[in-house]
Structure 1
Amino acid sequence: MNDSIPQFALYGEGRWLDNPDFVHIEDIAARSSGLGWHIKAHQHTQLTQILLLNSGSVQLQMDSEKRFLEGCWAILIPPGTVHSFRFAPNTDGRVLSIADSLLERDYLNAAFIQTPDCIQLNSEPEEFQHLWQLLTLLEHEFHQVKPLKNSLIEHLLKAILVYIERHHSGVRNSYQTPDDMVLQRLKLLVSQHLKEHWKLSDYALALNVSEKTLSRLVQKAYGKSVLQLTHEHLLREAKRNLIYTQKSVEEIAYDLGFKDPGYFSRFFKRAEQLTPAQYRRSLDA
């Protein structure tokens, strides 16, 4: 573990994206085979990734969830998700990386990719082959220098996202109502102001809605209060730090905006029935 979680544009590349329309595609082997098929824990804060496995297997960790996947899968990794991979040698697949700003465009409308997901496609070989062919075409075009290259890549990307959305566990109607947009903006504000421990009134003011309206929208969409939503995000960040860094519990508490490490420990124990130290020890059990 390190003192902090590495953040990359692409794994191993320290620079941030300087192209707001950035799209990148490569074989899994291109980056992982030279690293013993092991990609260590890291995160992308401006990038969404879709991994499509064609054959082989992977031991995957996304935040605190561990999975073993074999065969045909699509893996969704939203920005900010801490993830690591240990692929079986010669695993065949592709990694599609898309700038977050590009996914916010109306014509792509990919707001559905907001939570990590693993989509099993072994039982739908025809659907998988169509999706694989689309990625093959996108990869071919990615390496070409031809007229209308960007336009074709955008259309292929849209088709890929449609196939993914069909099978995504969180799929919703692609039309966004004003309420949907408020909720989407709320999630962004929660991420931006998490360590400031904003209250319901702060979010309502920033979103230009009443506290009552915001509470109703969040309760209807997620079955929880705004406070519970922010606490879930705080808990996820706490777990990321306990799993992937060597920071002390006190350092993590202060980093997350808690003025009292004791209160942070009580907050964590209420949610997990373990203190932060006990949770960290349980990872090695």
Structure 2
Amino acid sequence: MTTLLKNIPSLDIDRFVQNLMNAPNRHTITHRNQKMQFHICRLSEIDDASPLDKPHIYDFFTIYFVEAGSLAKINQLESLQLNAKEVFFSKPGEIKTWQKMKGLKGYLLSFTIDYLLMLINDKNIINSFDYLMPDSQRKFALDEANFAYYQNVFNELGKEYAEPKLQSTELIRFWIFVLLIKTNRLHQEQHQLVKPKKLTRSSDVICAKFLKLLDETFTDLAKGTIMKPPRIKEFAELLNVNPTYLGECVRKSSGKSAKSIINRKTLLLAKCQLLHTQNNISEIAYQLGFESPGYFIRFFKKFEELTPLEFRKSMSA
């Protein structure tokens, strides 16, 4: 399947809501001249004929809370099935596509990081939530007690949004933090973690900053706003550290080399470009920073055992 795009388009909450519901939502607590930073709706309100069946890069967080029914999505090229009594979190910069819905009931919550920072002025706050880190599990099955807890929080959020009162905005931000913290505890319980990971070591702090910068860089690459990704040396300069020290911090904190993490990101974006854009192999190779298409082809085949063209053809068959 090939969507005839030059670059994968980004999506903010305003256009997300309009596309998803085929009309602007009647409830809002933002002024008309302000960009929407928060939205909540019931999953049953979503238009079945939503035009979000093509890939978009979301620039906001989303939380899906499913009470009944099911939802199929593609998130970062991975098929995702959400069922009753499950909750799922996605981050800005991820490439997503809607597929199909069946008897959906529950809530869909969307918010920007800036919206949260109005309550807690800490740009690294998201890094304290383990399940939002790369490679972490972000879909959770809820037992009866947790299901009732989440249901109550989402009902309160929906009520404050639909019928705003004094300090409703502040209360909504508070409830979002309740969800984030509660889910972090759930993540620890389900993965049998003794205690939450704290970014106390300098290596953890630097690694978290590197991963955040890496996400932002590859999001800009996918959008076409930058021409090629920085190299490790350039990442180190942006973080004001020595390249060797950056590599040591990343390995110590994540257990992986900085190069392997960059390679994984590069491969993911290459697949997205092959599937969702009309760009030829040479264009994709140069956009991803390869010196020649030949280097790109060898890189891709090393991980996928297929050439980029073979991969594109296999997915469109």
TM-score (norm 2): 0.77
Q: Which moved more, 1:81-90 or 1:236-245?
A: 81-90
Number of matched residues? 279
Using a 3 Å threshold, how does the CA distance of structure 1 residues 74 and 90 change in structure 2: closer, same or farther?
A: same
Aligned to 2:38: 23
Q: 1:141 aligns with which of 140, 160, 184?
A: 160
Equivalent residues in 2 for 1:59-70, closer than 5 Å: 59-70=72-83
Q: Which moved more, 1:161-170 or 1:24-33?
A: 161-170
Using a 3 Å threshold, how does the CA distance of structure 1 residues 125 and 86 change in structure 2: closer, same or farther?
A: farther
How far did 1:91 drift? 0.8
In structure 1, stretches of 5+ residues that fail to align are none
Aligned to 1:129: 148
Cα distance in 2 for residues equivalent to 1:127 and 1:65: 26
RMSD: 2.8
Larger RCO of the pair (alpha carbons < 8 Å, separation 6+): 2
Aligned to 1:184: 208
Cα distance in 2 for residues equivalent to 1:193 and 1:146: 39
In structure 2, stretches of 5+ residues that fail to align are 20-32, 219-226
How far did 1:237 drift? 0.8
Cα distance in 2 for residues equivalent to 1:228 and 1:189: 16
Q: Which moved more, 1:207-216 or 1:38-47?
A: 38-47
How far did 1:96 drift? 0.8
Percent of pairs with identical residues: 24
How far did 1:132 drift? 1.5
CA contact (8 A) 1:26 1:94 kept: yes
Aligned to 1:86: 99
Equivalent residues in 2 for 1:1-285, closer than 5 Å: 1-3=3-5, 4-10=7-13, 11=16, 13=18, 22-35=37-50, 39-103=52-116, 105-106=121-122, 109-111=125-127, 112=129, 113-115=132-134, 117-122=137-142, 124-168=143-187, 173=196, 175-177=198-200, 178-193=202-217, 196-284=228-316
Cα distance in 2 for residues equivalent to 1:79 and 1:26: 19
Map Cα deviations across residues 23-60 of structure 1 (whole Å, 9 max, x no partner).
2111223233343xx74133344311111111111222
Using a 3 Å threshold, how does the CA distance of structure 1 residues 71 and 183 change in structure 2: closer, same or farther?
A: same
Aligned to 2:222: none
How far did 1:270 drift? 1.2
Q: Which moved more, 1:197-206 or 1:68-77?
A: 197-206
How far did 1:174 drift? 5.6
